[in-house]
Structure 1
Amino acid sequence: MQTAHLDHLILGFDRALRVVSGLARASRPNPALALQENELSEQEKAHSAGLMRVNHVGEICAQALYDSQGMFSQTPAVKQQFAHSGIEEEDHLAWSAHRVAELNSRTSLLNPLWYAGAYACGTIAARCGDAASLGFVVETERQVAAHLSSHLEKLPVQDQKSRAIVEQMRQDEIAHGAAAQALGASDLPMPVKAIMRAMAKVMTTTAYRI
């Protein structure tokens, strides 16, 4: 029993290192690969890079959340859903990192902090039971989908590559929330939702620049 627990810890630590160091691997083709790179001004490039850096941080957090919630979930069906969603979120992580690099920028310098904070939140949610944990997913994905919709409005119209990635991410996040809802998610209290929005605001504002 202790050996199995130690193995889980080692695997989890290895995964965290790979995530924050940018070694994510996509299982699906990047939706932007077939699109032409249109000309962007330096200001537009910087703006797109900032938005995609925010999205990359969101995916860092998603990896931490799904890893922690999956580890502490109580039923096989819930564990399987977290694992499936985590794979698609890793696609997002790889795609957004690639796009940030294409825009001659870098990912957030605070990625280890973002991962650690999200992992703690996911662990707390999972310890409250599967229904509450799934409810946390539903609310998280609802907020993320709204956030991505706002990025589709803010990205330069000619930045078709970034827009294609964000749109696919948005569709996936909606599907993840629906899957969690179907598994029996409970509705979170309004104060918890408000705290989640406030935390997300801090993250997005900071990650755009750092």
Structure 2
Amino acid sequence: MDKLISEFDRALRTVFAPAASVRPHPDAQIDEPAMDIADKRHAAGLMRVNHCGEVCAQALYQGQALTARDPAAREALRSAAHEEVEHLAWTERRLQELGSHKSVLNPLWYAGSLAIGVTAGLVGDRWNLGFLAETERQVSAHLDAHLSKLPQADEKSRAIVRQMHADETAHAETAVALGAAPLPLPVRLAMRSMSKVMTGLSYRL
């Protein structure tokens, strides 16, 4: 019962409470750029997508860690989740600076991602780690694309996205080193399709 309460509390804090970062914010030493309303709105939409992705990551790793059997796999998932909390804090503050808001659909994304994470863990540790590695690869590609989509003047958002990209790449490499199994193509394609739905809605909502 105590574990159930703890996990429920974690979910509530992820979705509704402000996140905190141990590391300095990557954009801390960068001045706020001058941007017009359209560029600010676009940057906010992209950063909202990134924040939403981190909410989903927290839920995925929570579910995967709950059902992981191997202590090393469980620790890798929890370590990745810890860094994702920092990503939450960075993107959340950037949204505030841009005068925008988090996605109103975050509770829905969290619930769905938690269910997927639990399922991935139940299948087995190699597949669990494979899901972690593939998730991070797709997130890294998504962040790389955002670097080209962000307004040229918005170096603050770019600094955040660059550090997030480095962290996600490291998470994928860790999962592979621990024995992650390559996911079948249909699973990878399904993950990409789900990601497109989430990013499209979160950009606007």
Q: What is the distance in 2 between the residues matched to 1:144 and 1:191?
A: 18
Comparing 141-150 with 69-78, greater Cα deviation is found at 69-78
Query: 1:36 — aligned with what?
Result: 31
Q: Could you tell me which of 23, 33, 53 is aligned with 1:58?
A: 53
RMSD, matched Cα: 0.6
User: Runs of 5+ in structure 2 lacking a partner?
Assistant: none
1:65-118, CA deviations, whole angstroms, 9 ceiling, x for partnerless residues? 111111111011111111111110100011000000100000000110010010
Query: 2:42 — aligned with what?
Result: 47
Deviation at 1:50? 0.1
Deviation at 1:22? 3.4
Q: Does 1:160 align with 2:155?
A: yes
Q: Does 1:206 align with 2:178?
A: no
Q: How many residues align?
A: 205
Residue identity opposite 1:28 in structure 2 = R
Q: What is the distance in 2 between the residues matched to 1:65 and 1:45?
A: 30
1:24-58, CA deviations, whole angstroms, 9 ceiling, x for partnerless residues? 22121100111011101000000000000000000
User: Runs of 5+ in structure 1 lacking a partner?
Assistant: 1-5
Q: Could you tell me which of 62, 77, 81 is aligned with 1:86?
A: 81
Q: Could you tell me which of 11, 15, 22 is aligned with 1:16?
A: 11
Q: TM-score, normalised by structure 1?
A: 0.96
C-alpha contact 1:22 1:97 (8 A) present in aligned 2: no
1:158-207, CA deviations, whole angstroms, 9 ceiling, x for partnerless residues? 10100000000000000000000100000111100010000000000000
Q: TM-score, normalised by structure 2?
A: 0.99
4+ residue runs over 6 A deviation: none
SS of the equivalent of 1:208 reads helix
